[in-house]
Amino acid sequence: MRNGRLDGKVAFITGVAKMDSIGFATASVLAAEGAALAIVDISDQVHECAALLRDGGSTVSAHTADLTRADQVRRIVDEAVDEHRRIDVLVNNAGMAIYGDKETFKAIQDLDENDWDFGIAINLKTQFLVTRAVLPLMIERGYGRIVNVSSTAGPVAANPRESAYCAAKAGVLGLTRSLALEGGRLGITANAVAPGWIATGSQAEGEDAAGLNTPIGRSARPEEVARAILFLASDDASYVTGHLLIVDGGNSIQDYKGPAELYY
């Protein structure tokens, strides 16, 4: 169902290289609401995602970059502006791991400095660099919607052997709130979504089991997170800023997280 909530808007979305991901679902949902897209990833798979979106009738440009490098970030933002003339919506979704690589799980005492720096860079620095490059364009036009993808791990809870990830995702919330304060009187809102257990193509067996033990009894579908992002990216949320929207099926509010039949 199309409501046209983003008609005439241009959305810049990072982390769009897998068809079964939050990034691709977000691109699909925003495009269905009328947005033209600039989608970004470090992987060339972003071009396949763009082709699929174009097949559905969307206006899409695809860009590859290492978002931990400021020079490459500025290049792709310039490319997107050359293509679309402006950026109205920014979705900072990229994170967790580089496409094709596995996320590092180590206890803090075993985590070396390079692993820590990488975890902070890919999950937090990327959002800073992209936002810094896009924000002047929004300030100039007096309009912008920034949606940062955080996580329940970090701002709300934590997981063992994921200290860098949790620290970075907590940092995303701090960054978001600072942006909200700085952009509020300039026509720019900044919010974050905090996904819990999500049934993406990279979801591990243990994560799927955790999803089954949420109050709703399953992991979220990527498009369910995407629709939360859509709300914050649209003018339906014009008076919402600095907010963390948790999308976790109620998992963070329950004390007992084991099998429901043993307690509920």
Q: What value does the mean pLDDT take over residues 80-89?
A: 98
Among the listed ranges 13-17, 164-168, 204-208, which one has the minimum average pLDDT value? 204-208
Average pLDDT over residues 69-89: 98
- Residue 99's pLDDT band, with cuts at 50, 70 and 90, is low
**What is the rounded average pLDDT of the residues 221-225?**
97
Please report, rounded to a whole number, the percentage of residues in the chain having pLDDT higher than 90.
89
Q: At what angle do helices 222-233 and 22-32 cross, to 10 degrees?
A: 50
pLDDT tens sequence across 17-49:
999 999 999 999 999 999 999 999 999 999 999
51-65: average pLDDT: 97
Distances from the Cα of 36 to the Cα of 1, 59, 74, 83, angstroms: 17, 5, 20, 10
pLDDT exceeds cutoff 80 at 229: yes
Q: Maximum CA pair distance of the chain?
A: 58
The residues that are catalytic are 165
pLDDT of residue 101: 63
233-262 pLDDT, tens digit each: 999 999 999 999 999 999 999 999 888 888
What's the rounded mean pLDDT across residues 175-184? 98
**What's CA 131's distance to the chain center, in Å?**
12
Answer yes or no: is pLDDT of 71 > 90: yes
Q: Which two tokens stand for residue 187?
A: 């026509």
- 221 φ/ψ angles, rounded to the nearest 5 degrees: -85, 145
100 has a pLDDT exceeding 80 = no
Q: Which residues pair with 190 in a beta bridge?
A: 146
- 146 neighbors 183 (Cβ within 8 angstroms): yes
pLDDT at position 98: 62
pTM above 0.85, yes or no: yes
Q: Work out the angle at residue 193's Cα, subtended by the Cα atoms of residues 32 and 114, and round it to the nearest 5 degrees.
A: 115
Mean pLDDT for 62-85 is 98
**Residue ranges of domains in the chain, CATH in brackets:** 10-262 (3.40.50.720)
Q: Which residue has the higher pLDDT, 98 or 192?
A: 192
Read off the pLDDT band of 108 (50, 70, 90): very high
Q: What is the pLDDT of residue 4?
A: 95
Contacts of 48 (CB under 8 A, 6+ apart): none
